Amino acid sequence: MTQTITVIRGDGIGPEIMDATLRVLDKMNLGLKYEEADAGLMALEKHGELLPQATLDSIAKNGVALKSPLTTPVGEGFTSINVTLRKKFDLYANVRPAKSFPNTKSRFASGVDLITIRENTEGLYIGEGQSVSEDGQSAISVSKVTRKGAERIVRYAFELAKKTGRKKVTLVHKANILKSTSGLFLKTGREVAQEYPGIECNEMIVDNTCMQLVMRPEQFDVIVTTNLFGDILSDLCAGLVGGLGLAPGANIGEKAAIFEAVHGSAPDIAGKGIANPCALLLGAAQMLDHLAMPEQAERLRRAIVATLEARDNLTPDLGGEGTTSSFAEAIASRL
């Protein structure tokens, strides 16, 4: 049966990097079908809503989406579309790999090869219970962690480590201060770790983790943590290996999965044709893994790495003079 993918072209640089990505995928003759669906500012202008029902129906039907960044308008009345999608489809695992690339300017020329697994459906990040007092002098935001949520994300991390031959899982927390929420996460995580005697498990407090990541990133293999910590740490990790233009992310649930770039819609460079398409392309490689096409995923990653190594038509964020489309062509030619 032909797999159909819901394709969301998104806002800002979204359509540019999606065109480039689909051109590369087309060269691979994967036999995939694409179904376009709207979301974000573009959908608001076209349909009067940020996340039309037709888009939700398409993702529910296909179970797999490739998504460009979306702009959530700042101001009241708009909840983040990404958070809504993650909650709607219960995409509890946010998987963000960070690996050093050859010939790519970054803090570490080599030695970084880690995956951040971020809980994606609860915790402070989802913005539950937000309110500001009438006099504007105080504000509240609620953080809720559940045993079920902690258990399934830590199990996901260990299962991924097992499947991919990774050796160590680090539980990142702040249980010394946030004794209830982070405490429950850590306690549950320790219990799950017991089921995986073949995989080393250690614990680290989140502020120390930041310092350790910057000083000695090679000590990390798989990091698993709660939503907000994962949001921040995964951008830090992207910075270790060359920036947001190279950082993909997968949002995985039982019934659906959405693959994307970690970065946003980059309004400062939108329409200029210079956005780096690699993050979305690497997201597409994660999608191919998810679709049980690991050889094709590797083939795509190898072409990306070879193009970076040759510094062929790299976009300006990587110090090159290429464009989104010439970079994509350079990758496609190496498939």
Could you tell me what percentage of the chain is helix, strand and coil, using 3-state DSSP and rounding each to the nearest 5? Answer: 45, 20, 40
**CB environment 84-112: b (16+ within 10 A), e (fewer):** bbbbebebbbbbbbbbbbeebebeeeeeb
Q: Among residues 125, 156, 221, 317, which one is catalytic? A: 125
Q: Which residues bind ligand NAI (CB under 6 A)?
A: 13, 17, 69-72, 82, 244-245, 260, 263-269, 275-276, 279, 317
Please say which residue, 5 or 161, places its beta carbon nearer to ligand NAI: 5
**Nearest approach, Cβ of 245 to ligand NAI (angstroms)?**
4
Q: Among residues 26, 148, 162, 207, which one is catalytic? A: 207
- List the one residue out of 315, 334, 311 whose CA is nearest residue 323: 315
Please say which residue, 258 or 293, places its beta carbon nearer to ligand NAI: 258
DSSP string, 288-307: HHHTT-HHHHHHHHHHHHHH
Please say which residue, 317 or 329, places its beta carbon nearer to Mg ion: 317
Distance between start and end Cα atoms, the chain = 25
CB closest to Mg ion, residue no: 231
Q: Among residues 156, 174, 221, 317, which one is catalytic? A: 174
The one of Mg ion, ligand NAI, none whose footprint includes residue 319, by CB under 5 to 8 A per kind, is: none
Residue 221 designated active-site: no
Residue 71 gets which letter from DSSP?
P
What is the C-alpha to C-alpha distance for residues 185 and 179, in angstroms, rounded to an integer? 10
CB closest to ligand NAI, residue no: 264
Please say which residue, 64 or 244, places its beta carbon nearer to Mg ion: 244
What is the C-alpha to C-alpha distance for residues 164 and 146, in angstroms, rounded to an integer? 27
- List the one residue out of 191, 196, 229 whose CA is nearest residue 213: 229
**Nearest approach, Cβ of 13 to ligand NAI (angstroms)?**
6
**Nearest approach, Cβ of 231 to ligand NAI (angstroms)?**
9
Residue 105 designated active-site: no
**Nearest approach, Cβ of 221 to Mg ion (angstroms)?**
22
Residue 90 designated active-site: no
Q: How many CB atoms lie under 10 A from the CB of residue 41?
A: 20
Residue 231 designated active-site: yes
User: So which residues are the catalytic ones?
Assistant: 125, 174, 207, 231
